[in-house]
């Protein structure tokens, strides 16, 4: 997995590339620590996200909770069909804004 972070005054975009699973979710977690809840809007760009496991979902849920607690926005964009079905089956699509 690769994580690319770009920031503007209005938002922080985190591009997640590859597989977000048990082995790679700690990497995303570490990359998010300095930026979570500091930007008015945090966007996960998932065009190149191939797979997400329960460990990856845990990091996403934690991010949602931290952004929400800080009164900040969190959006996930461009999920592929397979990853979107995981979000739908787990109920994440009901609690996270997906574009």
Domain ranges of the chain: 2-98
Read off φ and ψ for residue 67, nearest 5 degrees. -65, -45
In which band, very low, low, confident or very high, does the pLDDT at 39 lie, cut at 50, 70 and 90?
confident
Q: What is the pLDDT of residue 9?
A: 86
Other Cβ atoms within 10 Å of 80 Cβ, number: 13
Task: Determine if residue 17 is left, alpha or beta; phi over 0 gives left, psi from -120 to 50 gives alpha, anything else beta.
Answer: beta
- Give the residue among 42, 44, 48, 45 at the shortest CA–CA distance from 19: 48
Q: What is the pLDDT of residue 54?
A: 96
Report yes or no: 57 and 25 within 8 Å, Cβ to Cβ: no
Structure tokens at 59: 């990091």
pLDDT digits (tens, 9 = 90+) for 40-97: 999 999 999 999 999 999 999 999 999 999 999 999 999 999 999 999 999 999 999 9
Fold annotation for 2-98: Transcription Regulator spoIIAA (3.30.750)
């Amino acid at each position: 997995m690769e994580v690319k972070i770009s920031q503007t005054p209005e938002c922080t975009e985190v591009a997640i590339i590859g597989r977000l699973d048990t082995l790679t979710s700690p990497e995303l977690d570490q990359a998010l620590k300095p930026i979570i809840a500091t930007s008015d809007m945090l966007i996960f760009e998932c065009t190149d996200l191939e797979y997400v496991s329960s460990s990856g979902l845990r990091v996403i849920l934690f991010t949602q909770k931290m952004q929400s607690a800080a009164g900040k926005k969190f959006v996930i964009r461009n999920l592929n069909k397979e990853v979107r079905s995981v979000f739908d089956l787990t109920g994440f699509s009901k609690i996270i804004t997906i574009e």
